[in-house]
Amino acid sequence: MPKASDESPPCRQSLLLSQPAIELGAVLTSDSWKGPLGVQPSEITEVLNSPISQELLARDLTRLAYVAEDGTPRSIPIAFTWNGTEIVMCTAKNAPKLPALRHNPAVALTIDTEVHPPKLLLIRGRAELDVVEGIPEEFLEMNGTYTMTPEQRVEWEAGVRSLYDGMVRIVVTPTWAKLIDFETTLPSAVEELARQRDERHRA
C-alpha cells in the first residue's frame, strides 16, 4: 500500500497561505454541494487522476459517511478498492447500514493520510447496492494487502467462504471530488480567508 511521505515541512500550510490568492486556484472543484450537475465529469476525472489522488485511492481504508434510518449521521471505516471509475466496498448481507443506504443512497467518502500536512481526498456520490452470491473478487482483492503466507491465505479464504453465503457490493460512482494537500489546494474556507487577506493588503 503506498504510504504518504512524512518529510513534508510542518509549516507548508503557512508557506502556502503567504502566497497571492491567484496561486490558490489549483483547487479543482468547489466543496459547496450543487448536486450532480454542479461539477462537470471532466473536473472529477481531473481530480481523481492526479498523482496524489491515485496514491490515496490505492490505500486500504476509507471512511464512509451516510444517514442512518433514525436520521442521525454515521461515519465508518471500511475497506475499499478503486477500479478506475468506481469505489467498491463489500459488506455482509445483514449489515445495519444497508437499509439506511436503500432509504437514502447519498454518501460521502474520505480517504486521507495521518502525517502533517495531511492529504485528503473527499468524494460524494450515490451508493448502488449489488447483492451477490459467494465472495466478491473485490473483497478478496482489498484484503490481499495483508501479509500472509500462502498457507495462511488459503486458511483465511476458506474461513471467509464458510462465514458468508453471499455479500453486498456497495458501489459508488463519484459525482463530486476534491483533493486537499495543503500545498497546492486548501479547504475552501481557508482559501476564502486568504483571498480576503490579500485583498486587504492590496487596498
Q: Using one digit for the tens of pLDDT, what is the confidence trace for 132-179?
A: 999 999 998 887 666 788 888 889 889 999 999 999 999 999 999 999
Contacts of 190-197 with C-beta under 8 Å, sequence gap 24+, read 190/17, 191/21, 191/24, 191/27, 194/17, 194/21, 194/24, 195/21, 195/24
Domain 37-197: CATH class, spelled out: mainly beta
pLDDT for position 145: 65
pLDDT for position 54: 96
**pLDDT < 70 regions, the chain:** 1-38, 144-146
Q: Are 115 and 4 in contact (CB under 8 A)?
A: yes
Average pLDDT of the chain?
82
Q: How crowded is residue 158: how many other Cβ atoms within 10 Å of its Cβ?
A: 10
Please state, in angstroms and rounded to a whole number, the distance separating the CA atoms of residues 52 and 111.
Answer: 11
Q: Are 127 and 86 in contact (CB under 8 A)?
A: no
Please state, in angstroms and rounded to a whole number, the distance separating the CA atoms of residues 89 and 126.
Answer: 13
* Grid-cell match 485511492, residue found: 57
pLDDT for position 193: 85
Instruction: Give kind and range of the element (H or E) at residue 74.
Output: strand 73-79
